[in-house]
Amino acid sequence: MDHKYDLLIIGGGPVGLFAAYFAGMRNANVAIIESLPQLGGQAAALFPEKIVYDVGGIPAIKAKDLIKQQQQQLSLFPPKIFLQTSAQDIQQDEDGDYTVTTDQGVLHARAIIVAIGTGAFSPRRLAFAYDPQLESAGYLNYFVQDLESYRDQDVVVAGGGDSAIDWALALEPIAHQVTIVHRRDQFRGLESSVSKLEQSTIQIKTPFLITQADQAVGKIQLDLKRVKTNEHEILTTDKLLVNYGFTADSRVLRKWGLTLSGPKIKVDTKMATNRPKIYAIGDAITYPGKLDLLAVGYAEAPIAVTTALQTIYPDKIQPVHSTSLFEH
């Protein structure tokens, strides 16, 4: 992690991704750090199935497909991506550049773009204490890293939203048996996904809550409580995949010495914060007239990147639009 990047983008949401792409077009050496094991911020974590209608040039697109396309776009100028890495501290070095301390080590950069949205996402966990070995040994997961590791396994998916239903449906042809456990009778997913679920071979257990999870000779044993009763059932399975949504934590921001207005970072018209060479964009910021929309964040990204590069490379000619990149 000793390399010094031109730009370190904190936050791999849609706005951070576009900033990385734009910086790549400008030949900058870029890294992104993202607290989750996936990119895409709110769009990927909170509303993957929702159709977005208000991005210029795209009449209608599912949020998850928009993120897929952003990742495709980003692959033209691939930045270094650190997933499951949370920025914790930002210190200015003697030479004016920055060292960012993360929970995985330190990173160095000439300038920083903060694109942390509403804060670092983490999955909402099971609400009871369990042996951490369940996670380290792969019996209990909050994300699917590799669908193949579920092949021919019995899998319990916990949760009732789009993400839980989508994963249950994706696992159905691969796993031996999929069971979905939800604490309400009604699922919160899209009607079309719920219909698919009902027509599938997936076992539906509602209204049940998982109240205990224990290791059981190569398996995980779950205690399921029927909601509003004292009725319990034991379910033993190979893997448990929990999809209870996400929480966002922006408390770390208060340690970064940035001028805030409430939970948001104040920036000027060049996306500059009060600290030299630290810029901020997207839902993390505020200024008069700010809107928390993708289109607005996408517009702030090139402003921040251009300001940052003008500051760290003042002698470099700054192209006005993308085609000028290919003319020089």
Ligand X SMILES: Cc1cc2nc3c(=O)[nH]c(=O)nc-3n(C[C@H](O)[C@H](O)[C@H](O)COP(=O)(O)OP(=O)(O)OC[C@H]3O[C@@H](n4cnc5c(N)ncnc54)[C@H](O)[C@@H]3O)c2cc1C
Residues of this chain that bind ligand X (CB under 6 A): 10-16, 33-36, 41-43, 46-47, 50, 52, 54, 86-87, 115-121, 252, 282-284, 292-295, 297
Q: How many H-runs (helices) and E-runs (strands) does the chain carry? A: 8, 22
Q: How far is the CB of 16 from ligand X (least distance, A)?
A: 5
Cβ-based nearer residue to ligand X, 232 or 254: 254
Distances in whole angstroms, Cα of residue 302 to Cα of each of 20, 84, 164, 285: 9, 26, 35, 15
* Structural Rg of the chain based on CA atoms: 22
Local structure of 232: helix, strand or coil: strand
Q: How far is the CB of 45 from ligand X (least distance, A)?
A: 7
Give the residue carrying structure tokens 């989508």.
166
Q: How far is the CB of 132 from ligand X (least distance, A)?
A: 22
Cβ-based nearer residue to ligand X, 44 or 171: 44
CA 61, CA 67: separation in Å to the nearest integer? 10
Q: How far is the CB of 264 from ligand X (least distance, A)?
A: 11
Through-space distance between the first and last CA atoms of the chain, rounded to whole angstroms: 32
Among 251, 262, 285, residue whose Cα is nearest residue 113? 285
Q: How far is the CB of 100 from ligand X (least distance, A)?
A: 9
Cβ-based nearer residue to ligand X, 74 or 202: 74
Cβ-based nearer residue to ligand X, 60 or 147: 60
Q: How far is the CB of 130 from ligand X (least distance, A)?
A: 24
Cβ-based nearer residue to ligand X, 46 or 222: 46
Cβ-based nearer residue to ligand X, 24 or 41: 41
Q: How many other C-beta atoms lie within 10 A of the C-beta of residue 152?
A: 9
> Angle CA(240)–CA(119)–CA(13) in degrees, nearest 5?
80
Q: What are phi and psi of 73, to 5 degrees?
A: -60, -45
Cβ-based nearer residue to ligand X, 237 or 306: 306
Cβ-based nearer residue to ligand X, 28 or 52: 52
Q: How far is the CB of 283 from ligand X (least distance, A)?
A: 4
Q: Which helix (H) or strand (E) holds 179?
A: strand 177-181
Which parts of the chain fold into alpha helices (H)? 14-25, 41-45, 63-74, 133-136, 162-171, 191-199, 294-312, 323-327
* Tokens of residue 327, six digits: 């003319």
Local structure of 297: helix, strand or coil: helix
Q: How far is the CB of 46 from ligand X (least distance, A)?
A: 5
Q: How far is the CB of 13 from ligand X (least distance, A)?
A: 2
Cβ-based nearer residue to ligand X, 257 or 319: 257
CA 10, CA 86: separation in Å to the nearest integer? 8
